[in-house]
Amino acid sequence: MNDKDNQPIVGLDIPAEIGMPLEQVQTPALLIDLDVFEKNVAVLKERLQAAGVRLRAHAKTHKSVDIARYQLEHGGACGICCQKVAEAEIMVDGGIGDVLVSNQVVDAGKIDRLARLARDARILVCVDDAGNVDALSAAALRHGVQLECLVEIDCGAGRCGVLPGDAALELARRIDAARGLKFAGLQAYQGAAQHIREFAARRAAIESAIAQTHATVKMLAATGLECGIVAGAGTGSYGFEAASGLYNEMQCGSYVFMDADYQRVLDADGAPLGEFGNALFIWTSIMSAARPGHAVCDAGLKVMSLDSGLPVIHARDDIEYVNCSDEHGVIADPLNSLQLNDKLKLVPGHCDPTCNLHDWYVGIRDDRVDCLWPVSARGKSL
Amino acid sequence: MNDKDNQPIVGLDIPAEIGMPLEQVQTPALLIDLDVFEKNVAVLKERLQAAGVRLRAHAKTHKSVDIARYQLEHGGACGICCQKVAEAEIMVDGGIGDVLVSNQVVDAGKIDRLARLARDARILVCVDDAGNVDALSAAALRHGVQLECLVEIDCGAGRCGVLPGDAALELARRIDAARGLKFAGLQAYQGAAQHIREFAARRAAIESAIAQTHATVKMLAATGLECGIVAGAGTGSYGFEAASGLYNEMQCGSYVFMDADYQRVLDADGAPLGEFGNALFIWTSIMSAARPGHAVCDAGLKVMSLDSGLPVIHARDDIEYVNCSDEHGVIADPLNSLQLNDKLKLVPGHCDPTCNLHDWYVGIRDDRVDCLWPVSARGKSL
């Protein structure tokens, strides 16, 4: 940053300026195709409104205050989800007034920060431990706030959460009895199902989650504990949960951008899920084309996450990204079509951890830079 | 950052304070075991001095001005390598006076920034294209500086570089004839060999690279072009290049930290390379232990790169990190030994892209925070 005016320096800190033609944007950079992004946001809004369920958009995907605001103002979102207290702090500081930390917060310092945040915003959090309920209650009382708690149940993801049924009931009762806390409902996210490729297998996983969640909601209701919120779902499965008549808050995140892996998830007709388009790209340059048959681009492991595979080159069937190292991508180019400084758009394998590697989104419309949005909570993991 | 004094806020921006006991360091955090780090630096210094070759330490691993300075002051380094112009800018701004961008710089804006940097430091750069030589020359003249150029040859890595032999000679002549440029030697890095597990196969790959480089050096010398620098080698192979009598600048980077993948690279006796120890860890907390048999920690894809596999839990044989998602790690815990807020040290699979995810190194000595070093060039990819 330039000390004088605190403005980022193009080239060192930031890859572009407003109004710049796309062709001049420095590489590697994280691009948003704004038309596709806006359409994705509109499509989900319409579908969830038609189903009569709320959207609590997941900000862990984009970590951007600007995008969170857009989802609230134009995308029908009632609030957002975060995964980390530090993300929530950035979002509340950016004016977002309704945040669910869709995760456990168990460290004493983080619990204190979470309760402090509830002075300025509606704060919800997930719990799966009785001792954690007591600690959250003490912090809420200390700061004179209310924290709304969702009991997280493991309905098939194999990660956090108590078992559905008795364990969930016991925890809900404890929350309900705790001062400073409000029992708000269930977190029942089946994350492992989101990327199941085949439609029937994905539906079966979600139907199992819905059945377990339904039984738990009924059990709680029978003891007088109403679940105001039944939350979960993601981009790969939200259609099932939205139609369940049970879930009422959808936590989709990736839908705003999509990625190469989500494009491999199939609909009932065996075609890729068609409702959302690729809005996120890595803009990259050819930096070496010294030998026939392959070229090298300037986008590697430090600008995209490989956990879900290599990136796909957008709108080019004649070349293929075949190997990735820290700062390089090797591109098979059998027709020797690529020359130095040629530009390509890559669709990253996995959007969330890719965005977390960048400081800026370069928003593109009509091949010009229309906006520059900071990745406000980039690296905020605490 | 706190606006008033520009100090990072513990919890939001930074995981620790100087003097804090390790147990209180917020998670997830990137730790350096300073004793092991210092020993790694000393061991390589001693080995390369014994072999009579220089160290040009690769700063792409750590992206830290503090660590680069330490390598220059205590580690025998004659200078550093960077992969990006933006990294080089950060390093020169931090007082490093001798920087090789061990990569091609072909974009007009980046070439200009590189030449500008040569006003303040000795700057070297790799080339594998004739047109690029002309562009670098023009920029050097424009800024009244000299850029030293290494011809990069592909001696087996299959990435950048011209073929050894005639193509290298042609490019060296062009550099030698170009105003503002100095032909400085060859970049002959066999990156693909660094992680070959088996000793004999790794040695064979490097011997092939050495033979090709040797033939090229001889061919150039026969035309009066002396290679002042013959550069390459990394943590997995430097012993071979250092003993070659040909290579004179070693570009080791990972040796300061090591990682789980480098610990799988074997020495002649079939044991892991023993000279360097693990100095880099992800400090993580158990955030969910709701069901028997497994626990969940707070370190996932956003604090470490999975390109070289899952992390290894340090000094614990009874538990295993078995699954990673964006913000979570699932740990198999058959004996149910883990409780909420227990802390673990993870050895990441691959150090370089893991460091690039963090803003701070927390330096630990005797289980206390001894220093906090910014990851100065974190995210600097332009």
Q: What ipTM was predicted for this assembly?
A: 0.96
Each residue of B104-155: pLDDT tens digit?
999 999 999 999 999 999 999 999 999 999 999 999 999 999 999 999 999 9
Each residue of A254-269: pLDDT tens digit?
999 999 999 999 999 9
Q: Which of B12, B25, B31, B174 is the best substitution to test chain A (most A C-beta atoms within 10 A)?
A: B12
Q: What token pair was written down for B337?
A: 């030994």
Beta strands at A181-187 and A312-313: parallel, antiparallel or unpaired: unpaired
Is the Cβ pair B382, A154 closer than 8 Å? no
Is the Cβ pair B302, A158 closer than 8 Å? no
Report which secondary-structure segment, H or E, holds B216.
Answer: helix B199-222
Q: Enumerate the residues of chain B whose CB falls inside 8 A of the CB of residue A85.
A: 11
Report the residue from B26, B83, B340 with minimal CB separation from A106.
B340
Average of per-residue pLDDT values in chain B: 96
Each residue of A113-165: pLDDT tens digit?
999 999 999 999 999 999 999 999 999 999 999 999 999 999 999 999 999 99
Q: Please, what is the end-to-end C-alpha distance for chain B in angstroms?
A: 24
Q: Enumerate the residues of chain B whose CB falls inside 8 A of the CB of residue A103.
A: 287, 327
Say how far residue A109 (Cα) sits from the centre of its chain.
Answer: 25
Report the residue from A90, A128, A330 with minimal CB separation from B290.
A128
**Average pLDDT of the segment spanning B354-371:** 98
Report the residue from B85, B129, B381 with minimal CB separation from A290.
B129
**pLDDT value of residue A377:** 98
Q: Enumerate the residues of chain B whose CB falls inside 8 A of the CB of residue A89.
A: 12
Report which secondary-structure segment, H or E, holds B133.
Answer: helix B130-143
Each residue of A298-315: pLDDT tens digit?
999 999 999 999 999 999
Each residue of B271-287: pLDDT tens digit?
988 899 999 999 999 99
Say how far residue A138 (Cα) sits from the centre of its chain.
Answer: 30
Q: Using an 8 Å Cβ cutoff, are A280 and A349 in contact?
A: no
Each residue of A359-381: pLDDT tens digit?
999 999 999 999 999 999 999 99
Q: Enumerate the residues of chain A whose CB falls inside 8 A of the CB of residue B90.
A: 12
Is the Cβ pair A356, B356 closer than 8 Å? no
The chain A residue lying nearest B192, using CA atoms, is: A325
Q: Using an 8 Å Cβ cutoff, are A120 and A90 in contact?
A: no
Backbone angles phi, psi at B85, to 5 degrees: -60, -40
Percent of chain B with pLDDT strictly greater than 90? 97
Each residue of A50-81: pLDDT tens digit?
999 999 999 999 999 999 999 999 999 999 99
Q: Enumerate the residues of chain A whose CB falls inside 8 A of the CB of residue B253.
A: none
pTM here?
A: 0.97
Q: Using an 8 Å Cβ cutoff, are B249 and B56 in contact?
A: yes
Is the Cβ pair A107, B330 closer than 8 Å? no
Residue B3 has pLDDT above 70, yes or no: no
Is the Cβ pair A323, B158 closer than 8 Å? yes
Q: Helices A130-143 and A108-117, interaxial angle, to 10°?
A: 50
Q: Which residues of B72-89 are buried (b: 16+ CB within 10 A; e: fewer)?
A: beebbbebbbbbbbbbbb
Question: Which 3 state secondary structure label does DSSP give A25?
Answer: coil
The chain A residue lying nearest B129, using CA atoms, is: A290
Backbone angles phi, psi at A364, to 5 degrees: -115, 135
Report the residue from B162, B191, B382 with minimal CB separation from A290.
B162
Q: What token pair was written down for A319?
A: 């070349």
Each residue of A5-33: pLDDT tens digit?
678 999 899 999 999 999 999 999 999 99
**Confidence class for position A206, pLDDT limits 50, 70, 90:** very high
Backbone angles phi, psi at A132, to 5 degrees: -65, -35
Q: How far is CA A71 from CA A32, A256, B178, B194, in A?
A: 15, 9, 55, 46
CB-count burial class (<10 Å; 0-12, 13-18, 19+) for B58:
buried
Q: Enumerate the residues of chain A whose CB falls inside 8 A of the CB of residue B106.
A: 285, 287-288, 340-341
**Positive or negative CA dihedral for B224, B229, B232, B237?**
positive
Is the Cβ pair A341, B15 closer than 8 Å? no
Percent of chain B with pLDDT strictly greater than 70? 99
Report the residue from B158, B163, B356 with minimal CB separation from A302.
B356
Q: What span, in angstroms and rounded, lies between the C-alpha atoms of A273 and A347?
A: 16
CA nearest B57: which of B257, B195, B341, B333?
Answer: B257
- Dump the DSSP string for B244-263: SSS--EE---GGGT--TTGG
Is the Cβ pair A327, B60 closer than 8 Å? yes
- Dump the DSSP string for B155-215: SSS-SSSBPTTHHHHHHHHHHHHSTTEEEEEEE---GGGTT-SSHHHHHHHHHHHHHHHHH
- Dump the DSSP string for A150-169: EEEB-SSS-SSSBPTTHHHH
**pLDDT value of residue B1:** 40
**pLDDT value of residue B7:** 84
**pLDDT value of residue A274:** 87
Half-sphere exposure of A238 (CA within 13 A, CB side): 29
Q: Which of B112, B152, B326, B375 is the best substitution to test chain A (most A C-beta atoms within 10 A)?
A: B326
Report the residue from A86, A109, A301 with minimal CB separation from B307.
A301
Residue A290 has pLDDT above 80, yes or no: yes
Q: What span, in angstroms and rounded, lies between the C-alpha atoms of B2 and A89?
A: 13
**pLDDT value of residue B256:** 98
Instruction: Work out the minimum CA distance from B192 to partner chain A, whole angstroms.
Output: 10
Q: Enumerate the residues of chain A whose CB falls inside 8 A of the CB of residue B307.
A: 301, 306-307, 324
Report which secondary-structure segment, H or E, holds B297.
Answer: strand B293-297
Q: What span, in angstroms and rounded, lies between the C-alpha atoms of A36 and B163?
A: 43
A·B CB contacts under 8 A: 196
Instruction: Work out the minimum CA distance from A78 to partner chain B, whole angstroms.
Output: 23
Going along A59-175, which residue ranges are E strands? 77-82, 98-104, 122-127, 147-152
Q: Enumerate the residues of chain B whose CB falls inside 8 A of the CB of residue A305.
A: 301, 305-306
Instruction: Work out the minimum CA distance from A61 to partner chain B, whole angstroms.
Output: 9
Instruction: Work out the minimum CA distance from B204 to partner chain A, whole angstroms.
Output: 22
Instruction: Work out the minimum CA distance from A46 to partner chain B, whole angstroms.
Output: 28
**pLDDT value of residue B273:** 84
Each residue of B301-352: pLDDT tens digit?
999 999 999 999 999 999 999 999 999 999 999 999 999 999 999 999 999 9
Half-sphere exposure of A147 (CA within 13 A, CB side): 32
Beta strands at B360-365 and A77-82: parallel, antiparallel or unpaired: unpaired
DSSP 8-state class, residue B225: -
Give the residue carrying structure tokens 């960077």: B82
Report which secondary-structure segment, H or E, holds B100.
Answer: strand B98-104
User: How many DSSP H helices and E strands does chain A contain?
Assistant: 9, 17
Report which secondary-structure segment, H or E, holds B242.
Answer: helix B238-242
Backbone angles phi, psi at A282, to 5 degrees: -95, 120
Q: What span, in angstroms and rounded, lies between the C-alpha atoms of A222 and B279?
A: 55
Residue B5 has pLDDT above 70, yes or no: no
Is the Cβ pair B303, A11 closer than 8 Å? no
Q: Which of B288, B296, B330 is the best substitution to test chain A (most A C-beta atoms within 10 A)?
A: B288
Is the Cβ pair B294, A110 closer than 8 Å? no
What residue type is assigned to position A207 of the chain? E
Q: From its phi and psi, is residue A6 left (phi > 0), alpha (psi between -120 and 50) or beta?
A: left
Instruction: Work out the minimum CA distance from B154 to partner chain A, whole angstroms.
Output: 9
Report the residue from B89, B154, B302 with minimal CB separation from A356.
B302
Instruction: Work out the minimum CA distance from B365 to partner chain A, whole angstroms.
Output: 22
Is the Cβ pair A289, B357 closer than 8 Å? no
**Confidence class for position A3, pLDDT limits 50, 70, 90:** very low
The chain A residue lying nearest B113, using CA atoms, is: A11
Report the residue from B15, B86, B327 with minimal CB separation from A83.
B327
Beta strands at B98-104 and B77-82: parallel, antiparallel or unpaired: parallel
Q: What token pair was written down for B96?
A: 């490093």
Is the Cβ pair A285, B106 closer than 8 Å? yes
**pLDDT value of residue A2:** 42
Is the Cβ pair A12, B89 closer than 8 Å? yes
Is the Cβ pair A353, B159 closer than 8 Å? no
Q: What span, in angstroms and rounded, lies between the C-alpha atoms of A309 and A32?
A: 21
Cβ neighbours of residue A152 under 8 Å, at least 6 residues apart?
A: A104, A126, A127, A128, A160, A161, A162, A186, A187, A188, A189
**pLDDT value of residue B2:** 43
Q: Enumerate the residues of chain B whose CB falls inside 8 A of the CB of residue A104.
A: 287-288, 296
Beta strands at B147-152 and B181-187: parallel, antiparallel or unpaired: parallel
Q: What token pair was written down for B373?
A: 């070093």
**pLDDT value of residue B274:** 87
